[in-house]
Amino acid sequence: MDERKFEQLAAGLRQKAITTSLSCGADAMQAEDVAQDVLLRLWQMHDNLDRYRSIEALVVVMARNSVASLRRKGHSVPIMSVSHNDLPSQIVGPDESLISSQEVAWLNDTIKRLPGTQYAVLHMRQIEKLSYADIAKRLGIECSTARSLLSRARIKLLEEIKKRNLR
């Protein structure tokens, strides 16, 4: 499925995911999160969506499973991570290397603990270099919502970094 066709279907699929989530007992915020996660996962598999007889049925199953997952343990879909190679090359000694490896591991864990939609928007903006309009189209949300989610993710990361530096 190409991007244009996916964008045309996204609004209807998003509404289907919200409706399904609400019927499974999720509150409005959780339903919105589930819908955005479902759309993100659908986009990640957009090349294979044509093999499904009913994408709406797939959305219903994905939404139900996401709500069940929320109830069990919360949700986080790993998309992005920082590698040791992303660090500046001026790190020389083994002590500094060990410390930087620990910092990278801590940052990866912190990023993975972000709520799913914040994590997804952060990935799309920082890694895929997508515009807010493209992010909004893929997730079936407003541009202002995409900006808000990215801002919340960055603020949360900054707070965690500040907490870590105070130790």
For residue range 58-71, what is the model confidence (pLDDT) as tens digits?
A: 999 999 998 888 77
| Residue 20: band (very low, low, confident or very high) from pLDDT cuts 50, 70, 90 | very high
Q: Which residue has the tokens 């493209």?
A: 134
Shortest CA distance to 139 belongs to which of 58, 53, 61, 43?
Answer: 43
The stretch 147-153 carries a mean pLDDT of 88
Question: Tokens at residue 100, please?
Answer: 């930087």
Q: How far apart are CA 14 and CA 140, in angstroms?
A: 6
Query: What is the signed CA dihedral for 134, 137, 141, 144, rounded to 10 degrees?
Result: 30
Average the pLDDT over 148-164 and give the result.
Answer: 86
Find out if CATH 1.10.10.10 is the number for domain 84-166.
Answer: yes
- Here the tokens at position 47 are 């090349």
CB 139 within 8 A of CB 120: yes
Query: What's the pLDDT tens digit per position in 111-134?
Result: 888 888 888 888 888 888 888 888
Say what the pLDDT of residue 30 is. 86
DSSP summary character for residue 93 = S
pLDDT of residue 80: 41
Q: What does the radius of gyration of the chain's CA atoms come to, in whole angstroms?
A: 18
Q: pTM of this prediction?
A: 0.47
- Cα 113 to the center of its chain, rounded Å: 10
90 vs 56, which has greater pLDDT? 56
Residue 159 token pair? 């707070």
For residue 44, pLDDT over 50 is answered with yes
Give residue 78's pLDDT.
35
Residue matched to tokens 């409706």: 19
- At residue 56 the predicted structure's pLDDT band, cuts being 50, 70 and 90, is very high
| Cα 155 to Cα 167: distance, rounded to the nearest angstrom | 19
